[in-house]
Amino acid sequence: MKYALVTGGSRGIGRAVCTRLAADGYTVIINYVNNEQEAQRTLELVREAGGDGELLRFDVSDAEQTAAAIDRWKDEHKGEYISVLVNNAGIRKDNLLPLMEEADWYRVIGTSLNGFYNVTKQVIQPMIRKKYGRVINMASVSGIIGLPGQTNYSASKGGIIAATKALAKEVAPKRVTVNAIAPGFIKTDMVEGLDEETLVKTIPAGRFGNPEEVAELVAFLASDKAAYITGECIAITGGLN
């Protein structure tokens, strides 16, 4: 049985990734923090896609909670391991830097960047031992070009891109690939409150993307067809980069 863990899998891009990987035969571990109803809905969609899954509740920004949850999963699945990890969990707390609350800086960094460390550290060691694995990190166009009002978010996603490149070099000899995806403006809760009409004018493709388009890229990077791709950050932005 093939297992894939998707953090922040209850909604948006995470949900689309869960259902897409399920269609490829993965048993999907759907991570969530608070909204169990939405997580259950994702599980239903996973099963409708012909796959199966389970819920795993933990806050990726909490190292102890993350380790305890993943250790519990390992104890309940002896002889199995997570061969695909999608570090998708992330939050936005936008503001101009001079007006940004300290808590909002650390909360965004804690979820996106520290969350990458907390989860990946627990999952990658079995990949190395088995000499097979895929780590796919959800970055952002904000981490490539920087966006005003998102200094905290840009910093966290830029850090993810740099960490992706470094980790890829560490584990490539063990046939583990590590890549990042940098979505632009995708129709999810994460773009709520943004001026879509104005922003669309800056996108060469003339529209926001759909979560399913990002999920297709995740599925490719998770496949054997992408075995020679590692250390890359692939933008999916409609040309906004």
Active-site hit among 3, 26, 32, 153:
153
153 belongs to the catalytic site: yes
Compute the distance between CA of residue 103 and CA of residue 219 in angstroms, rounded to an integer.
35
Task: Read off the amino acid at residue 15.
Answer: R
Evaluate whether 84 touches 5 at the Cβ level (below 8 Å): yes
Instruction: Please state the three-class secondary structure of 123-191 as a single string.
Output: HHHHHHHHCCEEEEEECCCHHHHCCCCEHHHHHHHHHHHHHHHHHHHHHHHHCEEEEEEEECCECCHHH
Compute the distance between CA of residue 9 and CA of residue 17 in angstroms, rounded to an integer.
8
Evaluate whether 48 touches 98 at the Cβ level (below 8 Å): no
| Encoded tokens for 149 | 């009002």
CA dist list (Å): 57 to 7, 70, 123, 222: 9, 10, 16, 23
Give 3-state DSSP helix, strand, coil % of the chain, rounded to 5. 50, 20, 30
Angle separating helix axes 151-171 and 102-109, nearest 10 degrees: 30
| Encoded tokens for 30 | 């759907």
Catalytically active residues, by annotation: 153
